Structure 1
Amino acid sequence: MEWTRESRYTKMEDVSQEALEILKNKVDASPWRQSFHIQPETGLLNDPNGFSYFNGEYHLFYQWFPLGPVHGLKYWYHTKSEDLVHWENVGVGITPGDYFDSHGAYSGSAIEHDEKLYLMYTGNTRDENWIRHPYQCLAVMGKDGAISKINPAINEVPEGYTDHFRDPKVWKEDGRFWSVIGAQRTEETGCVVLYSSADFINWQFEGELKTNLESFGYMWECPDYFEQDGSGVLIFSPQGIEPQGDSYQNIYQSGYLLGKPLNLEDRLFEHQEFNELDCGFDFYAPQTMQDPSGRRILVGWMGLPEIEYPTDAHGWAHCLTIPRELTVKGNKLIQLPAKELAILREKEEKAAGILRDEARTFEGFSGVAYEMISEFDNVDASEFGVEIRVSETERTVISYDAAAQKVVVDRSESGEAFAEKYGTTRQCKVEPGKIKFHLFVDVSSVELFVNDGEEVFTCRIFPGEGSDGIRFFAKDGSARFEAVKWNYQAKMGKGSEASGHAVFNR
């Protein structure tokens, strides 16, 4: 169908239950529905929002347009979990429609305060000339799970910035609340600004964060500041960065600055160079939270704006990444899969051997949803690695190029093609030595952690039915390898994924 402005901004509440059920049935019939990733019931999912721990549970919301695989009138959809693995679909968390979020409840964050969960998000509004005006809005959730909006915290954009002013991320420090907001200066360069509050209700503008990136893209989205292992970390998603070597290959990027802790008084952030968080094809708008044990956990959107995906034809688009634990090692942010994911492990299979200019399969090594760890020691091969989701005509190749000293992910033969304008391979430099590939493969995705999180590749793939093979290979020489694999037979938990019924909570 053609998505007009009117259809994109139709409220779910104005659509018949019958039409919603027809859409849900269409989505459920999609061959690429995930088994252990958060995904939308129908329509489009994008940024993770409000990631937090409250009242004994993890809470994770996401941007949601329920009526189709396009960006339109955004809701906050609410999921929750006791273990970061089994997520329950709660239903709509924030419904747009007030004067301050009439055209969408855009991204934001959450923090516990006074035994309640306070949410801060951007309200999108448009006037009769379709001119944007953002509000930074507040809502509060009690222990019963009921969410109510309160008056907006920030009604105007400060002088010197455009109406691209969004995505507040909140934290508490020295008895005061702080929020970073993604912004665009009037000269159309991206930056982050800082607000503070004594009570979370009344906020004051502190000014712009001082970085040494004066002209780095035209907009910075989804900022997130925290301190980890003695360092200050600023994560954000800049738009308008040109490709440079192996870097910045996607339409938009997500990355971080690592430096000294932010000086809140003068807003000075002394930092090293910008690093991408993910080397893969499909990663954007990540958000972090600190759990009760002190771990810093990240979840990202496994997708990108302005890209058409094969599931669009089935009435849905995108999913979230698995949760990742962040640590600082040297000058780098390390990402490891949350240890709780081991709950999903079922039958274990092992394989090992020397690959001599060949590709080999092993009994028990196949599937469409699994975790697998492969370690390689090169002898004299020019290239070695593993092929997944293999059939006679399809494969996704994960390899190490010994001469270039690069890990390469190639999805040129992964299945249904998409986004080829941005290339079909991604690669990054990894020093030679033992190479470890830790894979999380789902029905239509692969997440690769290289050398215990030194590098990460996040990718959507859309293979055909029967593409479930795994092959280990070495070219032009030999490589030793050993591998262990666990099948995942995952259910998303209570809620609609288990029962088959949509949780629309209209």
Structure 2
Amino acid sequence: MTWTKAERYRSLRDVSALDMETLRTKTAASPWRFGYHIQPPTGLLNDPNGFTFFNGEYHMFYQWFPLGPVHGLKHWYHVTSTDLVTWTDRGVALVPETTEDSHGAYSGSGFVADGELHVMYTGNHRTDDWTRHASQLIGVLRDGKIERRNVAIPDVPAGYTEHFRDPKVWFENGFYYAIVGAQRENETGCVVLYRSSDLNDWTFLGEVKTGLDPFGYMWECPDVFELNGQHVLVFSPQGIEPDGHRYHNIYQSGYLIGKLDVETLTFTHGAFEELDFGFDFYAPQTTEHDGRRVLVGWMGLPEIEYPTDRFGWAHALTLPRELSIENGELKQRPVKAMTKLRQDEFVNASGTAMNASTPNRYELELTTDGSDFTLELLRVGDESLVIRYDEASRELTIDRTNAGEPFATEFGTTRTKVMDVTSLHLFVDSSSVECFVNDGEAVATLRVFPSELDKGLRYEGGTATLTGWTYE
């Protein structure tokens, strides 16, 4: 289906209750809806936004176009949780309806100020000749809705294009800081920094200097935080060419570990590392509470058609991951509260060859002796998702070539990570797989669309133990 501008930029306020019910019915008919992930009620979900702990709850918003699986007029949808596992639907929180966000309330972050949950986000406005103008807006969550507070950053600073978005705010030493993804006029990506003492007047400090120049044509969704005594800069660069086993998705997401000096605007750091070596991961955002830094990403990518599109919906958010830096490397582990979802064990076996029937939604732990193995998941006839490890080359390969309905094959059907492998921790939810390797040393996220719901698994290789739990 080809969408006109008028169809893409239609506000939720202009949609009848009957039209929305028709959309919900179409979406509900999809065989690939999730059981324990955040997903849109209809339409398209993309970036996680405003991820914050406030008043005893985690608040998560996400980019939402309600009317179909395309990137149209972006609203913010809202869900909350006390444990990062079970989420309560709070409905749409932000409908774009001011001049500044007339063509979309785009991505941003949440923060607590003066006892209230605030957000800063990018408003997009298009002129009659479709010229884009980006501004950064502040709102306050009241009675479940985001009320506009002020235009914090009305214009793009000199030297940068209107690809200027996704502010992430934090408070440090008496000031609010906002890091913003940007594109220079020479069409290379970077991040810039602002500072304010009162949320009203924001001073442009300048560009954060890194050792990555050039590195793609746009840096999206920046996030900076301190973890285990070091700073981590997370961002999603666009325009990175494949390099060996790395950077094979249309766009990438990764991080730098180092030290940010907000006075000199320098970030000294190590190498850029991908956050996820799977097929479907982008635009992550983090929050911190009670000493835990937690990350959630968009389980999808832009400019790709997914099989769920024909049911009028697309995408989900990843499971929350708790972050730590250990021996100089970032580790990502599923939050411990995921164990609340465990029901009956459907497999508990050891050996060199194992088979089991699997439910539609489950958790699986595999511990191996470090030698070669092949693990097939979502086995239906000739279909399966294959996870293969070769001890000699140290290559862990995820192969979705024959894992159901194909999509995005122009970006390849395998992903490989070079590392020693002794354990996998997997979460399967109807049409997604998240694979944590070696207790979070690496993670791979991917979508798969099997032709049938009744599936199985098979393991062959060195001595291993498999334990699996059915999920609700």
For residues 136 and 456 of structure 1, the distance between their equivalents in structure 2, rounded to whole angstroms, comes to 32
Q: Which residue of 1 aligns with 2:288?
A: 290
User: CA-to-partner distance for each residue in 1:191-225, whole Å, 9 max, x for gaps?
Assistant: 00000110122211010001011100000000000
Q: Which residue of 2 aligns with 1:420?
A: 409
Query: Partner of 2:267: helix, strand, or coil?
Result: coil
Query: Partner of 1:270: helix, strand, or coil?
Result: strand
Q: Which structure would you say has the larger RCO, counting Cα contacts within 8 Å and 6 or more residues apart?
A: 1
Matched, 1:472 2:455: no
Matched, 1:361 2:333: no
Query: Partner of 2:308: helix, strand, or coil?
Result: helix
Contact between 2:78 and 2:92, CA under 8 Å: does it hold in 1?
yes
Q: Which residue of 2 aligns with 1:175?
A: 174
For residues 320 and 118 of structure 2, the distance between their equivalents in structure 1, rounded to whole angstroms, comes to 22
For residues 93 and 288 of structure 2, the distance between their equivalents in structure 1, rounded to whole angstroms, comes to 21
For residues 77 and 360 of structure 1, the distance between their equivalents in structure 2, rounded to whole angstroms, comes to 43
Q: Which residue of 1 aligns with 2:205?
A: 206
Contact between 1:76 and 1:93, CA under 8 Å: does it hold in 2?
yes
User: Match for 1:390 among 354, 375, 379?
Assistant: 379
Contact between 1:350 and 1:482, CA under 8 Å: does it hold in 2?
no
State the 4+ residue runs in structure 1 displaced beyond 6 angstroms: none
Contact between 1:109 and 1:168, CA under 8 Å: does it hold in 2?
yes
Name the amino acid aligned to 1:264: V
Q: Which residue of 2 aligns with 1:495?
A: none
Count matched residues: 472
Q: How far apart are residue 32 of structure 1 and its match?
A: 0.3
Q: How far apart are residue 467 of structure 1 and its match?
A: 4.3
For residues 467 and 205 of structure 1, the distance between their equivalents in structure 2, rounded to whole angstroms, comes to 56
Q: Which residue of 2 aligns with 1:344?
A: 341
User: Match for 2:440 among 453, 457, 465?
Assistant: 453
Contact between 1:394 and 1:467, CA under 8 Å: does it hold in 2?
no
Q: Which residue of 2 aligns with 1:321?
A: 318
Q: Which residue of 2 aligns with 1:443?
A: 430
For residues 399 and 387 of structure 1, the distance between their equivalents in structure 2, rounded to whole angstroms, comes to 8
- Map 1:176-191 → 2, pairs under 5 A: 176-191=175-190
Q: Which residue of 2 aligns with 1:111?
A: 111
For residues 285 and 354 of structure 2, the distance between their equivalents in structure 1, rounded to whole angstroms, comes to 39
Q: How far apart are residue 146 of structure 1 and its match?
A: 3.8
Q: Which residue of 2 aligns with 1:371?
A: 363
Matched, 1:409 2:403: no
For residues 235 and 417 of structure 1, the distance between their equivalents in structure 2, rounded to whole angstroms, comes to 30
For residues 245 and 437 of structure 1, the distance between their equivalents in structure 2, rounded to whole angstroms, comes to 23
Aligned CA-pair RMSD: 1.1
Query: Partner of 1:320: helix, strand, or coil?
Result: coil
Contact between 2:12 and 2:95, CA under 8 Å: does it hold in 1?
no
For residues 443 and 273 of structure 1, the distance between their equivalents in structure 2, rounded to whole angstroms, comes to 35
Contact between 1:395 and 1:467, CA under 8 Å: does it hold in 2?
no
Name the amino acid aligned to 2:57: E
Q: Which residue of 2 aligns with 1:299?
A: 296
Query: Partner of 1:22: helix, strand, or coil?
Result: helix
User: Match for 1:485 among 465, 468, 471?
Assistant: 468
Q: Which residue of 2 aligns with 1:498?
A: none
User: CA-to-partner distance for each residue in 1:384-434, whole Å, 9 max, x for gaps?
Assistant: 0321111212111112112220111111111000000001010111126xx
- Map 1:127-142 → 2, pairs under 5 A: 127-142=127-142
For residues 272 and 446 of structure 1, the distance between their equivalents in structure 2, rounded to whole angstroms, comes to 30
User: CA-to-partner distance for each residue in 1:160-212, whole Å, 9 max, x for gaps?
Assistant: 10000000001111111111000000000000000011012221101000101
For residues 397 and 168 of structure 2, the distance between their equivalents in structure 1, rounded to whole angstroms, comes to 34
Q: How far apart are residue 330 of structure 1 and its match?
A: 2.2
Q: Which residue of 2 aligns with 1:333?
A: 330
Matched, 1:145 2:138: no
Q: Which residue of 2 aligns with 1:88?
A: 88
Please, which moves more after superposition, 339-348 or 231-240? 339-348
User: Match for 1:273 among 271, 274, 286?
Assistant: 271
Name the amino acid aligned to 2:340: I
User: CA-to-partner distance for each residue in 1:237-277, whole Å, 9 max, x for gaps?
Assistant: 000000000000000000001112x1110111100010000
User: CA-to-partner distance for each residue in 1:110-165, whole Å, 9 max, x for gaps?
Assistant: 101111001000001100110000010010014x4342112210001000100000
Query: Partner of 1:136: helix, strand, or coil?
Result: strand
For residues 141 and 15 of structure 1, the distance between their equivalents in structure 2, rounded to whole angstroms, comes to 24
Q: Which residue of 2 aligns with 1:73?
A: 73
Q: Which residue of 2 aligns with 1:225?
A: 224
Please, which moves more after superposition, 297-306 or 407-416? 407-416
For residues 331 and 456 of structure 1, the distance between their equivalents in structure 2, rounded to whole angstroms, comes to 17
Name the amino acid aligned to 2:127: D
With structure 1 as the length reference, what TM-score do the two structures score?
A: 0.92
Query: Partner of 2:31: helix, strand, or coil?
Result: coil
